[in-house]
């Protein structure tokens, strides 16, 4: 694998950033709702009760400029990002993320569990992103393979329905809409 020379520094910065996101999610997020636990079970998560979902209007960007630039360059973060997993913390963009995104992120939780630590996961995951690119990274393909597509969009939180503008965009084909969303 031909990693860029600053990969170790990026990995250290990424691990610190992911750790801070997980702490935020664990402190302020909500547990999976009963119907959402099915996604975690489908994804093979060992400890679904530990998952906390933090819904945000805007996704945080890494403070480290090099990490921020690298994440954007590799397509890991953009203004369209609507899901991100940090250990047992799942960050979702409020009103945009649907069942497909949540089921995808649940598989990343399972991958963190298998790796045993955030550093171990990120070493493998970010190495794959650099080597194969986002869409062909085996861990991403694995997460995509565990997505649960539903015929209609669901609101992750019943009291926070989708905005009318988003419903207009989605029309009757949530799958097509999902394909234009970005999540990592
Ligand atoms: Zn992913």
Q: What is the pLDDT of residue 183?
A: 60
130 band by pLDDT with thresholds 50, 70 and 90: very high
Q: What are 45's two structure tokens?
A: 């998560």
| Residue of 177 and 138 predicted with greater confidence | 138
Ligand 1 centroid – CA 164 distance (Å)? 27
pTM of the complete model: 0.81
* % of the chain beyond a pLDDT of 90: 66
Among 159, 154, 87, which residue's Cα sits nearest to residue 119? 87
Q: What is the pLDDT of residue 175?
A: 32
Ligand 1 centroid – CA 122 distance (Å)? 12
> Residue 150 pLDDT > 80, yes or no?
no
For 48, counting Cβ atoms within 10 Å of its Cβ (0-12 exposed, 13-18 middle, 19+ buried), the class is buried
> Residue 181 pLDDT > 90, yes or no?
no
- Per-residue pLDDT tens over the stretch 107-128: 999 999 999 999 999 999 999 9
Q: What protein residues have CB closer than 5 angstroms to ion ligand 1?
A: 140, 143, 184
Q: What is the pLDDT of residue 2?
A: 73
Q: What are 112's two structure tokens?
A: 């963190």
> Residue 30 pLDDT > 80, yes or no?
yes
Measured CA distances, 33 to 96, 143, 158 (Å): 17, 21, 10
Ligand 1 centroid – CA 105 distance (Å)? 6
Ligand 1 centroid – CA 181 distance (Å)? 12
Ligand 1 centroid – CA 70 distance (Å)? 16
Q: What is the pLDDT of residue 3?
A: 82
68 band by pLDDT with thresholds 50, 70 and 90: very high
User: Which element (helix H / strand E) includes 121?
Assistant: helix 118-132
Ligand 1 centroid – CA 85 distance (Å)? 8
Q: What is the CA 60 to chain-centroid distance, rounded?
A: 13
> Residue 169 pLDDT > 50, yes or no?
no
């Amino acid at each position: 694998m031909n990693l860029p020379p600053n990969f170790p520094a990026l990995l250290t910065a990424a691990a610190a950033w992911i750790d801070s996101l997980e702490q935020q999610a664990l402190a302020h997020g909500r547990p999976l709702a009963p119907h959402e636990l099915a996604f975690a079970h489908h994804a093979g998560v060992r400890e679904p009760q530990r998952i906390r979902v933090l819904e945000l209007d805007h996704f945080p960007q890494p403070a480290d400029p090099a990490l921020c630039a690298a994440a954007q360059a590799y397509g890991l973060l953009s203004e369209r990002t609507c899901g991100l997993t940090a250990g047992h913390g799942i960050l979702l963009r409020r009103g945009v993320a649907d069942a497909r995104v949540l089921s995808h992120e649940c598989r990343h939780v399972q991958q963190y569990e298998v790796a045993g630590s955030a550093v171990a996961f990120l070493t493998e995951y970010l190495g794959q992103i650099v080597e194969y690119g986002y869409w062909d990274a085996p861990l991403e393909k694995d997460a995509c393979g565990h997505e649960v597509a539903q015929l209609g969009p669901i609101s992750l939180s019943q009291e926070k329905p989708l905005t009318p503008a988003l419903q207009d965009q989605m029309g009757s084909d949530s799958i097509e809409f999902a394909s234009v969303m970005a999540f990592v």
